[in-house]
Amino acid sequence: MLLVKVGYGIVYRGVLGDGTKVAVKNLLNNRGQAEREFKVEVEVIGRVRHKNLVRLLGYCVEGAYRMLVYEYVDNGNLDQWLHGDVGEVSPLTWDIRRNIILGTAKGLAYLHDGLEPKVVHRDVKSSNILLDRQWNSKVSDFGLAKLLHSERSYVTTRVMGTFGYVAPEYACTGMLNEKSDVYSFGILIMEIISGRSPVDYSRPQGEVNLVEWLKTMVGNRKSEEVVDPKLPEMPASKALKRALLVALKCVDPDATKRPKMGHVIHMLEADDLLFRDERRVGREPSHSQHDYELENHAATKLVHKQSGEGTSDTSEGESGRKNHQSTRWR
Ligand SMILES: Nc1ncnc2c1ncn2[C@@H]1O[C@H](COP(=O)(O)OP(=O)(O)OP(=O)(O)O)[C@@H](O)[C@H]1O
Ligand SMILES: [Mg+2]
């Protein structure tokens, strides 16, 4: 049965002889991909096992055909749940969203630090985050951009096609490494918190670009206002601020200042322990004014620092960087 035709190829749903449900991806535009090179790459991907990564079960190489057989993940992708027609109230509660963020971080950390050679995803975005019935996140399509690398222009178009997630240095160097994944992950956190797409031309000017808008909001101490209006309950203020802080660190324009995924997990889990009891139903803040100021201050300070305000360690002023970035983003 045909599932969907987008991006890298056509995805079919299938059932194996033993009843296992699978997703079969027929890769398009693979001309030039040598058979041996393809097999080597696929075998690396096929060895990867992690509960937050979609498992590759097999592949097929025949003439010009290249197919990949994945475990079937049966609850759609995150893009559909965030931006699709889900009604007034999203089924994705704050806890579920936090869990999706954490699970995705764990999957990526494993790709970056748990494997030799390391695997860089290169296309982290909400449609590549699949969900099971318990809302566990499963990262799909890792290693695929590399697999298709011989089709250079194709890959370039593909990556630029999801440019709302692409790290700024990519535009300059064309190089993607794990810090570019961290950047895309930061965008993903912002998308999960706000329910907004990374680039949305239907928004008023100043809100089209999610990072820019969110930085402005946090910089103006309006963090509570970035939360997805479809969220059934407001998160505890500290938990929200922490998640925003992590997201902002991940999208640091300077790739060397972005945290590693392991550190991201650490920051998110520390948040979990500290603030678990502070979750609130209802939209009133549950914190003291002092705590609020502290958490808010950290994120606000970071925004100002990243944009070069009031710091001497950067040669580029805010307007310079903003112009530079908008050329790349739009
Ligand atoms: N293993 C899977 N189990 C269930 N559904 C899947 C699986 N893999 C892909 N799909 C579905 O097929 C859709 C299309 O997948 P595909 O990866 O081709 O496109 P995409 O994620 O939108 O873009 P990209 O090509 O950049 O990854 C996914 O978004 C998902 O809904
Ligand atoms: Mg995909």
Query: Whose C-alpha lies nearest to ligand 1, atom 1?
Result: 72
Q: What is the mean pLDDT of residues 209-232?
A: 97
| Whether residue 129 sits in one domain with residue 37 | no
Q: Residues of the chain with pLDDT > 70: what percent?
A: 74
What is this structure's pTM? 0.82
Q: What does the pLDDT average to over 2-16?
A: 69
Q: Which of 18-27, 29-38, 159-168, 311-320 has the highest mean pLDDT?
A: 18-27
Bond from prior residue into 253 cis (ω within 30 degrees of 0): no
- Domain end, chosen from 11, 41, 71, is at 71
Q: What are the two backbone dihedrals, phi and then psi, of residue 4, each rounded to the nearest 5 degrees?
A: -165, 155
Top-confidence range, 39-43, 105-109, 119-123, 311-315 = 105-109
Task: Please tell me whether residues 36 and 156 are part of one structural domain.
Answer: no
Tell me if 6 CB under 6 Å of ligand 1: yes
Give the residue from 47, 71, 95 where a domain finishes.
71
Do 82 and 55 share a structural domain?
Answer: no
Same domain, 213 and 299: yes
256, with CB counted inside 10 A (0-12, 13-18, 19+), is exposed
CATH of the domain at 103: 1.10.510.10
| 330 lies in some domain | no
Of 14, 47, 71, which one is at a domain's C-terminal end? 71
Instruction: Report in angstroms the alpha-carbon separations of 92 from 35, 97, 249.
Output: 42, 6, 24
Q: Note the pLDDT of residue 157.
A: 39
Question: What local confidence, expressed as pLDDT, does residue 9 receive?
Answer: 63
Both 67 and 182 in one domain: the answer is no
Q: How far apart are CA 309 and CA 304, in angstroms?
A: 5
- Does 123 participate in catalysis according to the annotation? yes
Greatest pairwise CA separation for the chain in angstroms: 66
Residue pair 247/97 in contact by the 8 Å Cβ criterion: no
Residue range 182-210: mean pLDDT, rounded: 97
Q: What confidence score (pLDDT) does residue 296 get?
A: 59
Residues 49 and 168 in one domain: no
Percent of the chain with pLDDT over 90: 54
- Of how many residues is the chain composed? 330
Ligand 1 pocket residue status of 140, Cβ below 6 Å: yes
Q: Is residue 196 included in any domain, yes or no? A: yes
The confidence score (pLDDT) of residue 329 equals 28
C-alpha atoms less than 13 angstroms from C-alpha of 328 in its C-beta half-sphere: 20
- State the total domains in the chain: 2
Could you tell me which of 90, 192, 193 has the C-alpha nearest to residue 137?
192
Q: Is 160 in the pocket of ligand 1 (CB under 6 A)?
A: no
- Least confidently predicted of 48-57, 155-164, 317-326: 317-326
Kindly state whether residues 195 and 293 are assigned to the same domain. Answer: yes
For the CA of 8, the closest atom of ligand 1 is 25
Ligand 1 site, residue 183, Cβ cutoff 6 A: no
Task: Report, as an integer, the average pLDDT of 250-262.
Answer: 96
Q: How far is CA 65 from CA 47, 263, 268, in A?
A: 22, 40, 42
Which of 110-124, 168-182, 305-319 is modeled with the greatest confidence?
110-124
Instruction: Indicate which residue's Cα is closest to atom 5 of ligand 1.
Output: 73
At 29, is the pLDDT very low, low, confident or very high (cuts 50, 70, 90)? low
pLDDT in tens, 102-131: 999 999 999 999 988 788 888 899 999 999
- Say if residues 166 and 160 touch (Cβ distance below 8 Å): yes
Atom of ligand 1 nearest to the CA of 123: 26
Measure the CA–CA gap between 41 and 56, rounded to whole angstroms: 12
Are residues 244 and 258 in contact, defined by beta-carbon separation less than 8 angstroms? no
**Are residues 204 and 236 located together in one domain of the fold?**
yes
The amino acid at 280: R
The single residue of 74, 79, 85, 123 carrying the catalytic annotation is: 123
In one-letter notation, the amino acid at residue 2 is L
Whole-number pLDDT of residue 241: 94
**224 found inside a domain:** yes
| Structure confidence at residue 87 (pLDDT) | 94
pLDDT above 50 for 46: yes
What average pLDDT does this structure show over 46-60?
94
CATH number for the domain including 28? 3.30.200.20
User: Structural domain of residue 297, as residue ranges?
Assistant: 78-323
